[in-house]
Each structure stands twice: as C-alpha cells, then as structure tokens.
Structure 1
C-alpha cells in the first residue's frame, strides 16, 4: 500500500531513532527480539491492530541498518522518515511526514518503540477520553510506591508525598498542529522535553490523565525484557 492509497484518519507516530546505549546491547533496544519479533514490531502491531488507527510513521536513525523496511503491518501503511538527535526532533520529523489527509486539527498518537505491551482496552480508553478533551490525553499510572528524596551522599533527605503524582506512559494523544507548535517552541527555547505532554504543558495546556495498565512497560533494562516476554506469552496464551 502506498501513502497515496492510505485513508485519512488517526495516525500513530513511533520515534525509533535512539541508539539505546544505556541498555548495553549490541542492537538498539527497539530491535531486540521478544517472542520472535523485535520490540518495535510488537509496539506497531498493538497500535495498528486497533480499528481506529489508519497507519503509522516511524522515525529512524540516519542509515539505520536494522530497520526491516516494512511498508505495511496489520494491513495498514507504515511510513519511515529520518529522525533526529532527540526524541522531540524525531517526533517533529514524523509529524511533518504524516500524509496530507491528516489535518492540522486531527489527533495523532505518539508511542514508544520499546513499549510493546500496550493493551487494546487502554488504547480504546485513551482514544475515547482523549478525543473528547480540547487538548488531548496521555496514558499514565498513579505512583503507588513511597518516594524518597536522596541527598548527594546517598542518604535519605526526605519522604515525598505521592498524592497527585503519576508516571507518564504512552501513547500520548494530541492534535497535530498544537503538538508541532509545542515541540518547536521547546526547541527554540533550548528545552529538552522528555515526552510530548511536557511540551504541551509548557504552552499552558493541561492534558488529561487516563489511567493505564502498570504492565505497559518501557523496556530499559534486561529485567524489563524478561518481564515483557512473560507478559506477551501470557497474553498470547489467553487468546488461544
């Protein structure tokens, strides 16, 4: 399927230009295999298997030798574009690479390439509530652990109240033009934003928090990789 053949509608963006050096593997972590497929494939399938998602743009590192060259998954188009040095650079490049059928006021999803265990129920909830909000929404999980503030010597300085604190997950859902302007403003101000919501918040917006599953893990350690493999096996067994 070519880009010209793609239907208009809700598109997803997957920034996948990171080198993943902190993981310490030979491959960038988005290409590590779990249950026979790289993490990025699981992430894309979770998005594209939802009937509301029309296609995905994946932002890749320059000269990425690991990208399989997919142009379609789950019967829907995948467009690859050149990402950048930061997450914001990659998301901006992907926003620009969206098909013309995606209008400035249309919502787009941004999802981590190394977050393979997104449930359809969470995605549906995000879409229902986020598209009813004037700004948009993110999947997130309330902080349940006791939080400690550490001193420079490694000792505990204080216990932090956890009420009203949430962990940001993905996908995050915002309008194409608003997100583009927010990310561009952060770039102009030389502010490194760690997620799309942070860029929107800097513009005075208040995205909605939609509670998502704790097992929507972002793989950052080898222990995470083993846990995600278990979760994906369990989900597959439940479908049989």
Structure 2
C-alpha cells in the first residue's frame, strides 16, 4: 500500500468484502467462503491477506443476515473487522458496506472491494494497483489479458463468430475506486434497479472510464469444486516462495 503517513490529509484506504453469497455452483453444504482450504476457511485466508496490508484504515465484511457460520470464526472478533448485513446481490452488499463507512470515509478516499472467494491475491499485486491509481480521479481494477480463443454462440450453442481477444481482459479484484464516486454509482444503480456485475460496470454506466491494471493469473476466484484444489496448490506455492533461503533447514 502507498505510504500515507507523511501526507497530511491524504486519502485513506478502506476495504469492503462482499461475503453474503450462497455459492450454488459449488454444490456444497455451505457457502463457498466457508469451505475448508489448507486448514482454514476460504474467507479466513482472504481476510488475512487483506489485513496484512499496511495502511488500511478499516475493513467491512458483508455477511448474509442469517449466516450462523461467521460468528464462529475467530476473525469475527478481530477489532480491525466490522460486519454489516449483505444484500440480495453483490452490488447490494457492497453498497451496504459503503453506507457503513459513511460517517468516516471522505469522498476522495479509496475503497478496495475484494471477492471473498479470492484467497490467493498477492499483497504486492494490490500494492501495484494502488500505485498505478494513486493520482487517478476515478479508480480501476485488476485484470489479466484474455489468452483463450473466444467464440460467440447463438441460442442453440452454434458458433456465430470468433472474437478479437486483443482488447479483452478478465476482470479480477480488488477493484479500487474513490469512495464518493463508487457510492454514487451503486446508489443510482439501486434506485434504477439496474443490475451491475462488478463495481467497474457501475462506474461505466455513469460514463466514467476506470483503468485496467495488470494483475496475476494466480488471483483465481473459487467458483467450482475443482477450484479448491487449484487454490490449495497456489497457496502452497506462494508460501514456499515466501520462505527465505535457509529457512527450510531452520537456519
């Protein structure tokens, strides 16, 4: 995270994590954010990554109103984390998180919105995002270029065309925007009952042009059962990379 300690009146950094989904595509007996991953829940891994960032002013996690799993997690008692009721859609949960921050957040502060099911995000990748957007008036998102050939289909799954992928990117999180603009965009989307799939699309609907910042391909989102094994492999590899030479032998 950028060092704001020497800049009087510099924008603060807040984090909102929408975690109210039920994860139907996982086919599991609990929401995907509570599935076990290397001895912890997916959500715990995600929140620990975010809490490790220097310069975070506060973190709000949006939880389903009838979630009885969150209170049982040790992190639920962490004073750095506050919870708020989630909404019917992701955008509703994010908006509830922004409203929770209203008494403290300035309109030019930064808000990082991160998926609960992205436990593999690297701190250095988030730092890159923050540095790239430091002077931006709107904000932007992490993403990676599309590498596969893309096809457009008709309603019968017939291939109609091959798309030019050179200008296409996979969107990731965190997505980082100025507090005032992001709240305005989500408030207007809610008032107009306009569906938005991510924070960037809400800003785009108001005519803004968020910036794309290249992230890392290992910042995967756990969506299907096979993604858990992949996330476990990525986390294990990242932990191995973090070891300093000689640590393996106790030196």
User: Normalising to structure 2: TM-score of the pair?
Assistant: 0.88
Paired position in structure 1 for 2:214: 211
Pair 1:106-2:109 in alignment: yes
Pair 1:97-2:100 in alignment: yes
Paired position in structure 2 for 1:177: 180
Paired position in structure 2 for 1:148: 151
Q: State the distance in 1 between where 2:77 and 2:142 align.
A: 26
Q: CA RMSD in A?
A: 1.5
Q: State the distance in 1 between where 2:39 and 2:155 align.
A: 43
Pair 1:118-2:159 in alignment: no
Q: State the distance in 2 between where 1:140 and 1:109 align.
A: 14
Q: State the distance in 2 between where 1:49 and 1:199 align.
A: 28
Paired position in structure 1 for 2:236: 233
Any idea what SS the aligned residue of 2:237 has? Answer: helix
Q: State the distance in 2 between where 1:153 and 1:9 align.
A: 50
Any idea what SS the aligned residue of 1:70 has? Answer: helix
Superposed displacement of residue 54, structure 1: 2.7
Paired position in structure 2 for 1:27: 30
| Superimposed CA distance per residue, residues 68-101 of structure 1 (whole angstroms, 9 cap, x where no aligned partner) | 263565xx60000111101111001000112733
Q: After superposing the two structures, state which structure 1 stretch, 148-157 or 88-97, moved more.
A: 148-157
Superposed displacement of residue 131, structure 1: 2.5
| Superimposed CA distance per residue, residues 45-64 of structure 1 (whole angstroms, 9 cap, x where no aligned partner) | 11111112232100010121
Any idea what SS the aligned residue of 2:80 has? Answer: strand
Pair 1:87-2:90 in alignment: yes
Return structure 1 stretches of 4+ with deviation > 4 angstroms. Answer: none
Q: State the distance in 2 between where 1:69 and 1:90 align.
A: 22
Q: State the distance in 2 between where 1:145 and 1:21 align.
A: 26
1:11–1:108: 8 Å Cα contact kept in structure 2? Answer: yes
Superposed displacement of residue 239, structure 1: 2.1
| Larger CA Rg, structure 1 vs 2 | 2
Q: State the distance in 2 between where 1:190 and 1:171 align.
A: 24
Pair 1:70-2:93 in alignment: no
Paired position in structure 1 for 2:5: none
Any idea what SS the aligned residue of 2:239 has? Answer: helix
Q: What stretches of structure 1 of length at least 5 have no aligned partner? A: 1-7
Any idea what SS the aligned residue of 2:232 has? Answer: helix
Paired position in structure 1 for 2:131: 128
Q: State the distance in 1 between where 2:21 and 2:90 align.
A: 8
